[in-house]
Amino acid sequence: MENTDDLIVVISELIREQFPNVSFSLENDNLMVIEQELKNGFKIIIAQGEIENTLYLGSWHMHFEKDIDGKNELVDYLHFGMSRLGRVKAFARKGKEYKWVFETKNIEDGLWYPVGTMGLINLKFWQKTQIEYYQNDFIPLEQN
């Protein structure tokens, strides 16, 4: 990716060119939203800030530096989040989600590996944990 402050513009142009069937909205110059298509999918939001950029994959998010390496890393995570090679693993107790892990699938061994975790404090540790997986399918696997 080129070194530009217009991250949202560059990403929107890439999506229009490479994945014309993916619909998204530009809320303003600094916010892009890709709505979920699948029942078990998740919304993707890219927020361009003055200090950092943030990628939201459902309830999970990650902050990225504004330099070229940070922008390239954000695009890599976006690619995983748009394909079946990335998923959000959500932990809940009594239907209330409290922890989210973004995982990527290694195509060589077929295993899922966590790349980032975020969560809330849930003091009801005695309640049974339910796990739900959310995954998008905007990018066909043969294009990964």
Question: Is there a domain that residue 2 lies in?
Answer: no
Report residue 54 CA to chain centroid gap.
10
Quickly state the pLDDT bin for 121 (edges 50, 70, 90): confident
Q: Are 107 and 142 in contact (CB under 8 A)?
A: no
Is 1 contained in some domain? Answer: no
Q: How many domains does the chain have?
A: 2
Residue 99 and residue 75 in one domain: no
Helix (H) or strand (E) holding 15: helix 7-18
The closest alpha carbon to 56, from 68, 47, 66, 48, belongs to 47
Domain assignment of residue 11, yes or no: yes
Give the strands of the sheet with 129-134, arranged side by side: 112-119, 96-105, 86-93, 129-134
Q: Are residues 133 and 104 in the same domain?
A: yes
| pLDDT at site 90 | 98
Give the model's pLDDT for residue 6.
86
Residues 78 and 31 occupy one common structural domain: yes
pLDDT exceeds cutoff 90 at 132: yes
Residue after which a domain boundary falls, among 82, 100, 115: 82
Judgement on whether residues 18 and 54 belong to the same structural domain of the protein: yes
DSSP secondary structure code for residue 110 in this structure: -
pLDDT digits 0-9 by tens, 52-107: 999 999 999 999 999 999 999 999 999 999 999 999 999 999 999 999 999 999 99
- Other Cβ atoms closer than 10 A to 36: 15
**Containing domain of residue 116, as a range?**
86-143
**How confident is the model over 6-56, as pLDDT tens digits?**
899 999 999 999 999 899 999 888 999 999 888 999 999 999 999 999 999
**Other beta carbons within 10 Å of 105:** 19
pLDDT at 3 over 60: no
Q: How far apart are CA 118 and CA 110, in angstroms?
A: 24
pLDDT of residue 4: 55
Whether 129 shows a pLDDT value over 60: the answer reads: yes
Q: What is the pTM of this model?
A: 0.89
Quote the CA–CA distance of 86 and 116 in Å, as a whole number: 12
| Residue 12 and residue 59 in one domain | yes
- Quick one: pLDDT band at residue 1, thresholds 50, 70, 90? low
